[in-house]
Structure 1
């Protein structure tokens, strides 16, 4: 990604991987090659996320089992957060747990109240290998946790319990894409 360029402008939209695909349910591999292919992947991820009108996207959501996610997400004060993290790891989760609406591009059309911490910190590197530390509060903290979960082979429905979980799993079973 060139400095000053619009993320995704040079990327191509890739097909989304839907719930049930093995790549969504397996931990992703660490990125070890920081060459042009990684830059193209990030550009494609931004293009795909914007085309699908999402707030974030993990690489395995387009079938690539690497530890990379992108985001363009507001926090609760409507401050925009835009970026990407390669080889992210959650280093801090705290604050109150908030049950809020959560959806996923890999489960199109579905949503469930999902408990998440209202503060999250993720560390990793950029496509050039430079260290990055991302702090999120409110909705953006939810986004950071959601995308990090994907890279560990999880989806938001793994956090939903009780009647909410039964309801969303019934919806998954009835979905046209499942």
Structure 2
């Protein structure tokens, strides 16, 4: 497969809500594999389709990143059904905002529903880093970047550091 170019903020495609995929096709399976290749090469723990210029509801993740054995996951048309009321604030990086780490508040647990590459609907409770990563990637599918999740003061500092 191939490594795809990753869009950088403020590319307007990163602020665009993505369309549902519906039926899983060989083209979607190929895109998912190319996204995994791109994520591992970057390296990162997650990558959403709009980050490679495809405005479809698809993301890939491997919370082990480059540090552990590979555990790639592919999420098509993901929907967060529930979020825990308990939250945590932690550092988040983004492949579309290289060099920027934001302190973002996220639910510590979510219930996620999605379609896998076989076309099977799945549902799973994710917690910890898996929940945080999935929320970050779903934000991308909704046209939201980490800068949209921080207060005005932190955003100004991060934009200045990024050079925006």
Give the TM-score of the pair, scaled to structure 2: 0.91
- In structure 2, the partner of 1:4 is none
1:16 aligns with 2:6: yes
Q: Which runs of 5+ in 2 are unaligned?
A: none
Residue 69 of structure 1 aligns to a residue in which SS?
strand
- Aligned residues of 2:89 and 2:105 also touching (Cα < 8 A): yes
- In structure 2, the partner of 1:99 is 89
**What does 1:1-150 correspond to in 2, within 5 Å?**
11-74=1-64, 82-150=72-140
- Aligned residues of 2:23 and 2:119 also touching (Cα < 8 A): no
Give the TM-score of the pair, scaled to structure 1: 0.84
Separation in 2 of the partners of 1:69 and 1:22? Answer: 18
The CA RMSD measured in Å over matched residues stands at 1.8
- Number of aligned positions between the proteins: 161
Q: Which runs of 5+ in 1 are unaligned?
A: 1-10
1:156 aligns with 2:140: no
Distance 1:140 1:79, change over 3 A: farther
State the 1:34 CA deviation: 1.8
Separation in 2 of the partners of 1:23 and 1:13? Answer: 19
Deviations 1:80-129 (A, max 9, x none): 85311100111111142211000100001110111111111211101221
Separation in 2 of the partners of 1:116 and 1:169? Answer: 21
Separation in 2 of the partners of 1:44 and 1:82? Answer: 12
Residue 73 of structure 1 aligns to a residue in which SS?
coil
Residue 63 of structure 2 aligns to a residue in which SS?
strand
